[in-house]
A and B are shown apart, each in its own frame.
Chain A
Amino acid sequence: MQLEERYGLFIGGEWVEPRSGEYQPTVSPATEEPLAEVAYGGAEDVDVAVGAAREAFSNGWSSLPSSERAKYIFRIARVLQERSREFAVLESLDGGKPIRESRDVDVPLAAAHFFYYAGWADKLEYAFPNRRPQPVGVAAQIIPWNFPLLMLAWKVAPALATGNTVVLKPAETTPLTALLFCDVLRQAGLPPGVVNIVTGDGRAGAELVKHPDVDKVAFTGSTEVGKAIQRAIAGTNKKLTLELGGKAANVIFDDAALDQAVEGIVNGIYFNQGHVCCAGSRLLVQESIYEPVIAKLKRRMGTLRVGDPLDKNTDVGAINSKEQLDRIQELVAAGEAEGAEIYQPPCRLPEKGWFFAPTVFTNVAQSYRIAQEEIFGPVLSVLTFRTPEEAVEKANNTAYGLSAGIWTEKGSRILYMASRLRAGVVWGNTFNRFDPTSPFGGFKESGFGREGGLQGLEPYLDFEGKPESLGG
């Protein structure tokens, strides 16, 4: 794999210089070395990209026989599988996540999403009987830096399957796999303008959201920005899906299989350095097993290897950016100041690059910032409970509602908890599982609309003569 020195914008099937004239380096978080220069699109660039997407929508893509559309998307899935090694390395290089995770989770799941939605393209009438589904038009998609290629797949695959065209803005710190994806589109022979990639920062995203010729906005990122987007489209007819922050409770009952539960806790919060919106960042432990759980957890944390993302033995890679590292450090300091007890296993962090040791806080009160705010880092807050009712109350005591975990060997208790936890995804005796067939998305301030599954098609469709809702 050879990186270019400098990347332009991908608009209308071609690489173009940004009209903004602006380029910024993208940096490896593990070494702080620049990898390449990337264009930062401005208002004019967004306008040209939306124009290219509109033209591609009107001149062919939306009227292509749906079975042909399906075959293009199948091709994308296959090319991604064939070039998976390249994508995995680039994802870890640019984003800092362990190569084992890029290789085993991000890239295969991205390919699977394209394969799954490809099959839907010519079956929409069966997914929505009596509703006469129609594509919406031009979809503006803004994705985060924690799963760059996978989030691209979650956005682009259903949009294309439903006959829409796309302008996608990758996150400013992780643009490279989206740019490599343009080469997949070339190999797949996708018609020009069907997918356009405009790299840049929040300014490009804001221009994209407010562009009058955009019909649908899909955003994954922080709740703060999500609210700003919802405000920005107020009064328009744009459709919107938001996949925002979370502060998931991972609830451990006294009859849980403890070793498995501890693996689930570790996977829940230290997977991808905790840069996961559905991370199990609040551990709720039943009081009677508090000591053994914490002891096992600390022991297990001591075996986590923190370091070079490109080493396949690494468990916890680099923090994505200096800005994110600052935020984690600020919240951890707040946790200590508020009176929580901090534990970090002895581990040597690399001298260069942005790293943070796996961290657990005990003696946490519900009101502490580390129990309320999304840290988006490898930091776990532990609370306790006595009864299932108390566990439900504490778990739901947050403005978020993205995910939750339950650990118990009692089946009826899993279903009791699953039906009462106000969260869009509930993992029973497992955590952080994802699949293209499985709808994902939040309750409350974690956003609305679903990605994945049959339900993930709906946000990209209009239905003739049927009610329209912002999220649906």
Chain B
Amino acid sequence: MSRLDVRKTYKLYIGGAFPRSESGRTYEIEDANVARASRKDVRDAVRAARAALPEWAGMTAYNRGQVLYRIAEMMEGRRAEFAELSGGEAEVDEAVDTWIWYAGWADKLAQVIGSSNPVAGPYFNFTIPEPTGVVGIVAPEAPPLHGLVSRVAPALVGGNAVVVCASERHPLAAITLAEVLATSDVPGGVVNVLTGRKGELAPVLASHMDVNAIDLAGVEGDRAELEELAAENVKRVVRNGDGHSPWHAAAYLELKTVWHPIGV
């Protein structure tokens, strides 16, 4: 007699733990009952992200780069599983390579995006990038794995904490990626993954006063309402683009300019 397989329960990923939705709701998709996050789950995720921010933002860039590299290492070991949950091996390769690429940017962004400024006076003046804070991401519906990684990695590399709404139709790859993150030295709360109805979750994220920036690339249809909500606390809004660029990472960075007199 063949062995009956043990199935996985797909849950949310908030603050480094895997809770069910506080609402108790699920929806059936990809042959699984996936958690259907509520407004309160969004708020919990934002709180977890805010709490995790100081540690992640305060790491040295070298250290943060190594943590992102570690994510790629952990994914590599689960290639077969990811291939089944996504568009196949090619997509997994692309996702792993994207982590590697951004891992290498961690300690270079400031040199490409920042500057030393030759002001007309006896002052030392420089401009450096800093994380904007908590970033909300509405991940693309497809591809389910690389779509998510290509939006999350550039937000993470500069030191932001992230709350991401996974692909609604293909959420399993996102939750499996959360298992990788949980075992990759990424501090709990730095990435929070919500599954459920985007139409329900995205407006909560867009209007949340403690979210500093929002990526709407994964919004299908009209984004006007979400952008209007985002204006309430002057959120930085990222509209589209295919990622894979330090300028994409820069969209989640603030530029700080520091002046000091030169004298004896």
Contact = CB atoms under 8 A, between A and B. Distances in A.
A and B together in one complex: yes
Interface of A: 112, 131, 223, 226-228, 230-231, 233-235, 237, 242, 244, 399, 414, 418-419, 423-430, 433, 435, 437-441, 443-448, 450, 453-455, 463, 465-472
Greatest chain A CB density within 10 A among B247, B251, B261 is at B247
A158 B257 CA distance: 19
A419 B248 CA distance: 23
Given A418-B258, A428-B258, A471 B251 contact: yes
Interface stretch (B6-14, B82-90, B112-120): B112-120
B256 A423 contact: yes
Interface string B112-135: 010101111101010100101000
Given A235-B222, A444-B212, A445-B233, A435 B260 contact: no
Contacts of B123: 430, 433
Contacts, number: 149
A10 B102 CA distance: 49
B245 interface: yes
A468 B239 contact: yes
Contact of A463 (B222, B230, B240, B247): B247
30 contacts: A131-B247, A223-B234, A226-B234, A231-B228, A234-B224, A234-B225, A234-B226, A234-B230, A234-B231, A235-B228, A244-B234, A414-B260, A423-B256, A426-B259, A427-B259, A430-B261, A433-B259, A437-B119, A437-B120, A438-B117, A439-B255, A443-B256, A444-B212, A453-B257, A455-B113, A455-B127, A466-B248, A467-B240, A467-B251, A472-B251
B170 interface: no
Interface in B234-264: 234, 236-243, 245, 247-248, 250-251, 254-261
Interface in B120-166: 120-121, 123, 125, 127, 130, 132
Contacts of B227: 230-231, 233-235, 470
- Mostly, the B contact residues are mixed
Contact of B255 (A227, A435, A450, A468): A450
Contacts of B251: 467, 469, 471-472
Nearest to A469: B251
B245 A466 contact: yes
B261 to A, nearest CB: 5
Contact of A467 (B117, B234, B242): B242
A237 B232 CA distance: 19
Contacts of A450: 255
A439 B114 CA distance: 10
Given A234-B226, A435-B119, 8 more contacts: A227-B231, A429-B261, A437-B117, A437-B120, A438-B119, A443-B256, A453-B257, A465-B242
B223 interface: yes
Contact of B234 (A230, A430, A433): A230
Contacts of B113: 455
Contact of A470 (B117, B239, B261): B239
A427 B123 CA distance: 10
A469 B243 contact: no
B225 A467 contact: no
A78 to B, nearest CB: 16
Contacts of B255: 424, 439, 441, 450, 455
A467 B241 contact: yes
A242 B241 CA distance: 22
Contacts of B258: 418, 425-428
Contacts of B120: 112, 435, 437
Greatest chain A CB density within 10 A among B223, B226, B239, B248 is at B239
Nearest to A229: B231
Nearest to B237: A470
Nearest to A131: B247
Contacts of B118: 437
